[in-house]
Structure 1
Amino acid sequence: MTHRIPSALVLVGCLLTLAVGAQAQQASSEDIDRLLQRSGIEHFLDALPQQVGEGLAAAIAEDPDGTALLADSVQSLQESANTTFAPGQLAPVIRQVLERRIDADVAREVLAWLDSPLGTRLTRLENVASSPDYPRQLEAFMRALPNNPPAGERLELLQALDRAANITESGIEVVLHMQLALVVAVVETLPEQQRPTVPELLQSLESERPAIEQMLKQVSLSSLLFTYRDVSDADLQQYIAFLGSPAGKLFQSSLVEGLDLALIQAVRRWGNEVGRTLKAATLRQST
């Protein structure tokens, strides 16, 4: 069984990620609230259901033969995405990870950065990546880019930011999770003796990792060029330095872990919903 990677899922995977001592005192509930708010993750979660629904619609449009059974159920699946990926479903999972991993000292250091003029400005720019108009604006920016290409030093700096923020690496996992949810849903419609096992599906999807990585690296670089187009090299270097600090690394990895866990749970629920929809569509076709 082969699976084509819809480009819409790759973009969603990229955006998704552009958004994350033994005796140390635990961070207060108020500090965790501020971290969630100041980091922009809440803003991202608000926009996620629509992005997932639009990604599904785009995937169906790209591959009408492979998703024919879903074509008549786009609206109901988008409604289920609104419920499954609602902030109220995902935020508590992320919060639990932050509460477990972030102590008071780390919270203070991270909040000092997020509350700084530069940290506030960068978060505001990153929040724009969750807006409905972002894909259209990004496309227009990339069309005009050949007329004003970035310097090699700028590209190297943005690639360093990609590595520091784990944008491409995290995006790969997001895309694989979403692919697995859709593939498992389709497999559920097959006769039991024809269904591949989950390990077999995972092995098949893992074989696509190099292709996903190649696509995401380019999408990530394009997104970073656009998002930080008005940010100076010096300011980006400060951002990379924060992400590379012990507190920055811990906070970033905690956000990624929390979002990853929340999405794993969500895509499994949504995959079940897609599977039920496919079964119903199969029954309708057979009658």
Structure 2
Amino acid sequence: MTHAPARRAPLHVTLLAALGCLIALAISPPAARAADRDSIRDFLNVTGFDIALDSIAFSAGSAPQMLGVQPDAFGADWTRVSGSVFDTAIMRKMALDILEQTLTQENLDHAVDFYASDLGQRLVEVENASHSESDDSIAQTGGAEILADLSETDRGQARIATLERMMAAIDSAGMSLRAIQEIQVRFLVSAAAAGVIELRMDPEELRAAMKTQEDEMRAALMESSMKSAAFTYKDISDADLIAYAEALETPQMQEVYQLLNAVQYEIMANRFEVLAARMADLHPGQDI
């Protein structure tokens, strides 16, 4: 599904606000039945969201870059510490805990009905393969070549339009950019609190600085997403991609994806906060 420390004093950030709004969205109406934990566990497997959650672990490699240092600067224990923080069992439990309170049985059934179909399972297969690949450069390079070839024909341009339609449906609320910014802010603030770095800006100043770069970040994010999508779905037919886009655009699937996006980003932000605290034992502080 394409589309993640014990919490310190909570930061009142947009990501958490968005999560709260989306959770409210998922729980209303009052009569909606909450899905049980076993059903949610099956749901994660059928939709492939469990593998998407596991892939959050690959994002740990970007932590030193956010601080302006190389991973080896944190010593031989870096792999062990980052691996324990981004442990897949921990992340799956967090997802189950949140979804047990927020995902309705009706929305779960709607998503499972689609992803359990022949088309749905073929899509999950290629998406799981994409999520399981730690080296994103393969998809980025291959996707760029595919998009370049597609742009040369009318049929190819129509496929590009379908991929764009899919990407818009997957992130209809436009959460990705805001979430990435908030993950960075929460990580930097937590790293400063742990003494890993000296932060010369407060959280609001950080957000303001990031806002000045939003246009470039949004364009880069869209370009990267399109390359990944072109590569991931390269063996899926045009007709099946259109059917997927239509399925993603249904109101119930929109609610499911908005919730799952929020859950994935919140888990990622939480894990980066924990990682920041653990990094204090690996490397002396430095200015940023």
Bin of the TM-score, shorter chain as denominator length: 0.7 to 0.9
CA distance in 1, matches of 2:249, 2:119: 16
What is the match of residue 78 of structure 1?
79
- The one-letter code of the counterpart of 2:100 is E
- 1:46, 1:87 within 8 Å by CA — same for their partners in 2? yes
**Do the aligned partners of 1:17 and 1:171 also contact (CA within 8 Å) in 2?**
no
> By how many angstroms is 1:124 displaced?
0.9
2:210 corresponds in structure 1 to 205
Tell me if 1:114 matches 2:119: no
Report if the CA contact (8 A) 2:126-2:233 is conserved: yes
Report the 3-state secondary structure (helix = DSSP H, G, I; strand = E; otherwise coil) of the residue aligned with 1:26: coil
Residue 52 (str. 1) matches residue 59 (str. 2): yes
Change in Cα spacing, 1:125 to 1:134, as seen in structure 2 (3 Å) is: farther
Q: Greater helix percent: which structure?
A: 1
Report the equivalent of 1:29: 37
CA separation in 2, counterparts of 1:146 and 1:207? 29
Range 161-170 or range 261-270, more displaced: 161-170
Asked if the contact 2:40–2:96 (Cα under 8 Å) also holds between the matched residues in 1, the reply is: yes
Aligned-residue sequence identity (percent) comes to: 18
Residues of 1 paired with 2:139 and 2:55: CA distance?
17
With normalisation by structure 1, the TM-score equals: 0.76
Q: CA distance change for structure 1 residues 143 and 90 in 2, over 3 Å: closer, same or farther?
A: closer
Moved more, 244-253 or 174-183: 174-183
Q: What is the CA-CA distance between 1:277 and the residue it aligns to?
A: 3.6
Instruction: In structure 2, list runs of 5 or more residues that go unmatched.
Output: 5-28
Alpha-carbon distance between aligned partners in 2 of 1:265 and 1:223, rounded to the nearest angstrom: 25
Matched residue of 1:229: which SS? coil
Residue 147 and residue 245 in structure 1: after superposition, are their counterparts in 2 closer, same or farther (change >3 A)? closer
Rate the CA distance shift 1:168–1:157 in 2: closer, same or farther, 3 A.
farther
Deviation at 1:48?
2.9
Aligned mates of 2:226, 2:215 — CA distance in 1: 17
CA contact (8 A) 1:125 1:228 kept: yes
Deviating runs (4+, > 6 A) in structure 1?
Answer: none
RMSD over aligned CA atoms reads: 3.0
- 2:3 aligned to 18, 35, 58, which one? 18
- Determine if contact 1:182/1:274 at 8 Å carries over to the other structure: no
Counterpart Cα distance in 2 of 1:17 and 1:180? 24
> Cα gap change, 1:136/1:215 in structure 2, threshold over 3 Å: closer, same or farther?
closer
Counterpart residue identity of residue 52, structure 2: F
Deviation of the 1:94 alpha carbon = 2.0
Q: Say if 1:242 and 1:24 are closer, same or farther in 2 by CA, change over 3 A.
A: same
CA shift, 1:134, in A, is 5.1
Counterpart check, 1:153 vs 2:158: yes
- 1:1-287 equivalences under 5 Å are 18=3, 21-49=29-57, 51-56=58-63, 59=65, 66-67=68-69, 71-73=72-74, 75-132=76-133, 135-142=136-143, 144-145=145-146, 148-150=149-151, 151-166=156-171, 169-184=174-189, 185=191, 188=195, 195-278=200-283, 280=284
Equivalent residue pairs, number: 256
